[in-house]
Chains A and B, each alone.
Chain A
Amino acid sequence: MQPVCIVMIEDDEGHARLIERNIRRAGVNNEIVPFRDGTSALAYLLGPDGSGEASARRHLLILLDLNLPDMTGLDILEKVKANPHTRRSPVVVLTTTDDSREVQRCYDLGANVYITKPVNYEGFSNAIRQLGLFFSVMQVPETP
């Protein structure tokens, strides 16, 4: 079985580093591919042609921040969940807001998990660690 690749789309370098550290601390050693903006992340996920063929044989898990400089994470979520090659990849939304309407919107668009980045660091690292446990037991399906 091909190992799962974690795609992390997060524009805040500090957040990205904290997330990575916590994932590693949770004992997850999968490859992490970081992106700082939506455009390059989409180019990677859907390929330069935007068809999604590029992800056809990948096992991906997407960590998605909603607040990106060039687009909102919701745009990416929508495209990923609409593409037949990527729609089965789990998407974990990580953001600063706990606005109920936004949470609802993410789930409506097909997000698998929604995690609020708490300032309370204990809660945050716990969540990430649990996510790490989640990764370790999870079978990410190979995208067709």
Chain B
Amino acid sequence: MSGPTLMHAGYNPVLVALSVAIAILSAYVALDLGARVRGAAPGQRWAWVAGAAGAMGGGIWSMHFIGMLAFEMGMPVAYHLGLTALSLVIAVAATGVAFAWVNRAAAGLRDVLVSGPLMGLGVAGMHYTGMAAMHVPGNLAYSVVIVAASIAIAVAAATAALWLTFRQHGVRQKLLAAGVMGIAVAGMHYTGMAAATFTVEEAGAHAAHITALGQDQQTLALAVAGATFAILFLALFASSVDQQRVQEEYRASEARFRAAIQAVRGVLWTNDAEGRMMGEQPGWAALTGQTRAEYEGFGWASAVHPDDAASSLAAWAATVAAQRDFVHEHRVRARDGSWRHFAIHAVPILRAGAIREWVGVHTDITEQREAEAELRDSNEELQRYAYIVSHDLRAPLVNVMGFTSELEETRGEVAQALRDHPQAGRIDADLGEALGFIKAAVTRMEGLIAAILRLSREGRRAFRVEPLDMTTLLQGLADAQHHQTDAAGARVNIAPDLPEITADRLAVEQVFANLLDNAVKYLDPQRPGRITVTAVTAGSNRVRFDVADNGRGIAARDHARVFELFRRSGVQDRPGEGIGLAHVKALVRSLGGRIDVTSELGQGTTFSVTLPRKAATGQAGQAGPVSLAAE
């Protein structure tokens, strides 16, 4: 035989099967390790990427090498160590870069289109480097078309496999992805091999040698396969240990979460994307005693108070339709038949832009609501009490005053009758004095009762909130008092930049009119009076107004007392009933604010009124009408 002879090569089927098995297993291990990357601590991420790349790249190389050994071409083959090692490096490096790219924190599905071709080219590069490492006594030629096909297979398969990696969840999907990837790698290899044509000149001379070599090849193939399997199983073992750790952490985290929900007296529940209660709801079942069949869908609503159920369902439907957070309150019948008041907060859990499910928490606020209702009741009772007392006190006063006036009429008649009596003048004077004291006392008493009545009415008045320009408002009050101010030789300075607040105008006017009036009333005659009104921001939504004077001051022991009804401090040389500051304090409280006093005897006094920028409507309005049973 002369001239080049085309070698008729065959494959050892056992080794081929072995190579495919290695490809699939290594792909599975790579996917398994790759899945760890996202859940791993930042420092460990690259270790998992390296592990996955090693498994995949090494596996591909191992598959390729065994595939080469499975190739029986009937002539001696030797391998160049350097190039063979290089082919392994190429496989591991290309796979590593591809895995690292798709596992970046910011990676999206689109990045698969970068990583896939990269990995495919790496696999092809590895294959042809490995082929180049093969020394055969004949010649090696490639069919360009089939080489191109093998590269295309590599790129497509790698992309598909990485894409599967991205969306795989369970073991089955992982197995599918691994199968696709493994078969694709093997397919690429054997396509690549098909692209090669071996020719030999002296085939016959080496016939005997081949048999011997065939034996060696099988041993080598089994050794490589064994080592690869061992490494892959070790990797899988490491992965499963990590998996257990992750699951342990997950269980601990879930237990922690449930404990936290319970600690805030909450009941956790979930609904499907359409807002239907589905599956096991241990919290809800324990709260209401409803069975799964009873609460599923919208059955939960039958455990909600009949007065609240319809509105709750409507609000929930609107929330689900709008895909927003759910904030609601309603009463739920507990297992023991009692009605409990709950605040509900639910949020949609999104996955890839769509709602996957709803998670909500019912928080028991029954005690809070009861305490509020009690407070409201006692407030109302107090107001009613003040109202009744003041009216019932007034009725006898009408008599005292009325009959005192009758006595005055009689006094004239007595004087007439005693006209000639020697003591007539003294008797008349005595009568007059007694009647005068009685009338003065009654007048004072009536003033006090009227003040209590006014206070109780003030508590019931519904506030109308409006934006108030405080500089204008206070300047108006100061101007209205300018007669008294001028008479006292004092000056009132209102800061020009007082902030605007939203509150009830009448109440705010009464508060500051009282404070300004007091400031003017209790100036120190020793020095010219100076009264200033300034404001500072207090917290995020509050403003503190300071009404400061340089007047006579209030002794420290009286600081709390000045806010009490009918109490006055210092020298009693000014007219007043001791109502003003009690009234001011009640008003400020209704406005949702507070009032404090700082003062030094002989130096001056500062009353600080802290008010919300945006006032609530005030409890006064919410209390509702008080019945007039007293009348």
Contacts and interface: CB of A to CB of B under 8 A. Distances in A.
A113 to B, nearest CB: 17
Contact of B394 (A119, A122, A124): A119
Nearest to A100: B457
A15 B395 contact: yes
Nearest to A11: B395
Contact of B398 (A72, A96, A102, A122): A96
B628 A14 contact: no
Interface in B393-427: 394-399, 401-406
**Quick one: which of A15, A74, A95, A97 has the most chain B CB within 10 A?**
A97
Contacts of A125: 405
Contacts of B405: 121-122, 125
A125 B405 CA distance: 10
B631 interface: yes
A60 B503 CA distance: 50
A108 to B, nearest CB: 13
B451 to A, nearest CB: 14
B442 interface: yes
Given A14-B399, A121-B402, A122-B405, A96 B391 contact: yes
Interface string B606-631: 00000000000000000001001111
A102 B628 contact: yes
Contact of B631 (A18, A21, A67, A119): A67
**Quick one: which of A73, A96, A102 has the most chain B CB within 10 A?**
A96
Contacts of A101: 625, 628
B399 A18 contact: yes
A133 to B, nearest CB: 19
A99 B399 CA distance: 20
A121 B403 CA distance: 9
A40 B457 CA distance: 33
A72 B631 contact: yes
A15 B519 CA distance: 42
B630 A121 contact: no
A119 B398 contact: yes
Nearest to A22: B402
Contacts, number: 62
A120 interface: yes
Contacts of B446: 119-120
A101 B405 CA distance: 31
B139 interface: no
A125 B403 CA distance: 11
B453 to A, nearest CB: 8
Contacts of B394: 96, 119
A132 B403 CA distance: 20
Interface string B483-522: 0000000000000000000000000000000000000000
Nearest to A98: B453
A137 B630 CA distance: 34
Contacts of A121: 401-402, 404-405
B457 A99 contact: yes
Contact of A99 (B442, B628, B629): B628
A139 B391 CA distance: 34
Contacts of B625: 101
Contacts of B443: 119-120
Contact of A95 (B402, B406, B631): B631
Contact of A96 (B395, B406, B629): B395
Contacts of A18: 398-399, 402-403, 406
Contacts of B395: 12, 15, 67, 96
Contact of A12 (B399, B401, B628): B399
Contacts of A45: none
A117 B397 CA distance: 10
A38 to B, nearest CB: 12
Contact of B403 (A14, A102, A122): A14
A119 B391 contact: no
A12 B442 CA distance: 18
Contacts of B629: 72
Interface string A86-106: 000000000111010110000
Contacts of B396: 14
A15 B402 contact: yes
Nearest to A72: B631
A119 B631 CA distance: 17
A66 interface: yes
A123 B628 CA distance: 25
A67 B393 CA distance: 13
A14 B391 contact: no
A102 B394 CA distance: 17
A15 B631 CA distance: 15
Contacts of A102: 628, 631
Contact of A15 (B391, B399, B404, B442): B399
Interface in A52-110: 66-67, 72-74, 95-97, 99, 101-102
Nearest to A117: B398
Contacts of A14: 396, 398-399, 402-403
Nearest to A74: B631
A102 B453 CA distance: 14
Contacts of A74: 631
Interface string B457-484: 1000000000000000000000000000
Nearest to B400: A119
Nearest to A73: B631
12 contacts: A12-B395, A12-B398, A15-B395, A15-B399, A18-B403, A67-B391, A97-B391, A101-B625, A119-B394, A119-B397, A120-B446, A125-B405
Interface of A: 12, 14-15, 18, 21, 66-67, 72-74, 95-97, 99, 101-102, 117-122, 124-125
7 closest Cβ contacts across the A-B interface? A14-B399, A121-B405, A18-B402, A119-B446, A66-B631, A119-B401, A96-B394
Given A12-B395, A15-B399, A18-B403, 4 more contacts: A15-B398, A18-B402, A67-B391, A119-B443
